[in-house]
Structure 1
Amino acid sequence: MSGGYASLGGVDISGSVPVAASGDRSPLQFQESNLQTFPPTDVKGKIAGSYQPPRDADDSFSKPGPGAQNGSLDGQAQGFGGWFNVVSYRPYFNVDTSDVLERIRDSFLPHKGDFVEKTNSNPDMYGPFWITTTLIFVTAALGNFAAYIAHKTSSTSDHWHYDINKVTWSASMFYGYIALVPLLLYFLLKYMGVSSSLVQLWCLYGYSLFIFIPASVLSVVPVEIFRWVIVGIAAVMSAIFLALNIRSHIKTASDRWFLVVTGSFLLQLGLALVMKLYFFTFTF
């Protein structure tokens, strides 16, 4: 063993590990991966590309509606075809809860007469639609409930029946009023040479009806004089709110403003009177 490891050579020594031969080495081969890398893409969507929030998640609904100011709809369909495009009406629903609540609060303060001025840049149809729809079902349901209470407290022995026609009449009356009266007023103001906005008038009339919702709730009380007082107060407040805002809008533009304001005031009182007589007046 004095020769060291070099003298081992090709000798097979028991118990030892043979030296690996250097002449037959084969390089270790690695298979290339089949994975592919893709270049960045500009495709946006839920699967490919970087994450983008949905279109409705931006802050467009917290900004003033462009259609309410200059009539443009940001490249949307114009002309006659725009009337049948749902997107064309999006600017008129561009309000949040705080806006609607503030406008409802202003309708309970009729003496200010600044509702038109506050909503001039962004009138909405969201509040008027839901206020009118709520009023329809409230008056129909509570009208039947008040009739039931009046029947139970009366001396009649007849059976009481729910009047489903109240829903139909309520929808016809309130939807017809909120749609046609502002439309007629719009054409009247155009004839008088007064610049006005139809959406602004719908907004004004719609919020003027909100006070009739709590009045309908209180009209369930089976005391006739109390019902007249409640509906009367609601009618006067609503009519004053409507009249003062129309007056502030057209007084400086027409000499016949008094007739228009008086007519609007009386029509609002007439609506309240019809509501009281049809839904909350009972004879058994």
Structure 2
Amino acid sequence: MMTSGGKYSTINNQQLQGSVPAVPDPPPVTVKFTDSNLQTFPPSQAHGKITGGSRPPRDADDSFSKPVSGGSSDEPQQGGWLQTFAVASYKPYFDVDTSDVLERIIDSLFPFRGTFNEKTSTNPDLYGPFWICTTLIFLAASMGTFVTYIAHKLKDQEWNYDINLVTWSAGLFYGYVTIVPLCLYVILKYFSVPAGLVQLFCLYGYSLFIFIPALCMSIVPLDIFRWVIAGVAGFMSATFVALNLRAHIKSAGEQWFFIVAGIFLLQLALSVVLKIYLFTVSV
């Protein structure tokens, strides 16, 4: 300890003996939180599916599943007859998968059922008719070319490819499946018979599928066999169209029988034309 004279003095040890009084701990501080106003949301019930907030664009989903009354907000709105030239207006008629097309093809091979129109009334397609006609065109040209080539080679004759066979068959099949349903649609409208133009295109397009195996069997070099094949194919195709339209055309009154008979005979005439120009191979 320092004195007034600037000297240090010793501290008595006895005065330092004793215990240091304990300092009491401060009381614990309690923190209170007010109730939160946050809302709790229940979990979504759509497990394993894409929710509405993260759904993909409609082009990748099901935008073509049903005919739309109008275009999307990104597309310009077109009204009246201008919709005929819009590609979007034809998208619903190509909304079919492989199972749908196969089922409709099988129905066309059993013409006496007469249930094709009922099955396709809500979703007629143009995909199947287009590819059936396209297959018939190339098949008719290839089969005719193959048969004539073999016949010429067996007789050691010169062979030349006839390109007109492709153009002629294209005009025949595409023209028939377009013009005939269009004319029939006008006739049915005249008699106030309910009928859809796209549904008629669908019906006539699938009715031509039977001619695909008939064309394949036409390579047999027997003319009587080709006549039988063409006759059977024509009868099945005509029966398929007539029976599916009979129930609808009956509402036209007494004229329904003549309309159905005309449809049946016109389809038979098609098979005769195919036999003469496609099923007959001459060297």
Q: What is the TM-score with the length of structure 1 in the denominator?
A: 0.75
1:234 offset after TM fit, Å? 0.9
For residues 255-283 of structure 1, the C-alpha deviation after alignment (integer angstroms, 9 at most, x for no partner) is 21111111111111111111111122133
Determine the C-alpha separation between the residues in 1 that align with 2:262 and 2:59.
42
Structure 2 counterpart of 1:106, one-letter code: D
Q: Which residue of 2 aligns with 1:218?
A: 217
Determine the C-alpha separation between the residues in 2 that align with 1:152 and 1:231.
26
For residues 201-222 of structure 1, the C-alpha deviation after alignment (integer angstroms, 9 at most, x for no partner) is 0000000001101111111122
Q: Which residue of 1 aligns with 2:60?
A: 57
Q: SS of the counterpart of 2:274?
A: helix
- 2:136 corresponds to 1:135: yes
Q: SS of the counterpart of 2:251?
A: coil
Measured on the aligned residues, the alpha-carbon RMSD in Å equals 1.9
- Structure 1, unmatched stretches of 5+, are 1-49
Moved more, 141-150 or 209-218: 141-150
1:150 offset after TM fit, Å? 3.4
Q: Which residue of 2 aligns with 1:159?
A: 158
Q: Which residue of 1 aligns with 2:175?
A: 176
Determine the C-alpha separation between the residues in 2 that align with 1:191 and 1:142.
41
Determine the C-alpha separation between the residues in 2 that align with 1:187 and 1:134.
28
Q: What is the TM-score with the length of structure 2 in the denominator?
A: 0.75
Determine the C-alpha separation between the residues in 1 that align with 2:153 and 2:279.
15
Structure 1 counterpart of 2:195, one-letter code: S
Determine the C-alpha separation between the residues in 1 that align with 2:221 and 2:70.
51
Q: SS of the counterpart of 2:267?
A: helix
For residues 93-113 of structure 1, the C-alpha deviation after alignment (integer angstroms, 9 at most, x for no partner) is 111111111000000010011
- Structure 2, unmatched stretches of 5+, are 1-52
| Overall identity of the aligned pairs, in % | 61
Q: Which residue of 2 aligns with 1:10?
A: none
Determine the C-alpha separation between the residues in 2 that align with 1:215 and 1:171.
17
Quick check: 1:215–1:234 contact (8 Å CA) kept in 2?
yes
Q: Which residue of 2 aligns with 1:149?
A: 150
Structure 2 counterpart of 1:142, one-letter code: M
In structure 2, the CA distance between the partners of 1:253 and 1:73, relative to structure 1 (3 Å rule), is farther
For residues 23-43 of structure 1, the C-alpha deviation after alignment (integer angstroms, 9 at most, x for no partner) is xxxxxxxxxxxxxxxxxxxxx
1:114 offset after TM fit, Å? 1.1
Q: Which residue of 2 aligns with 1:84?
A: 85
In structure 2, the CA distance between the partners of 1:248 and 1:74, relative to structure 1 (3 Å rule), is farther
Q: Which residue of 1 aligns with 2:253?
A: 254
1:51 offset after TM fit, Å? 7.0
Determine the C-alpha separation between the residues in 2 that align with 1:205 and 1:80.
25
Structure 1 counterpart of 2:172, one-letter code: M
Determine the C-alpha separation between the residues in 2 that align with 1:52 and 1:137.
42
Greater C-alpha radius of gyration: 2
Alignment of 1:198-209 (within 5 A): 198-209=197-208
Alignment of 1:218-237 (within 5 A): 218-237=217-236
Structure 2 counterpart of 1:66, one-letter code: P
Quick check: 1:116–1:249 contact (8 Å CA) kept in 2?
no
Moved more, 76-85 or 93-102: 76-85
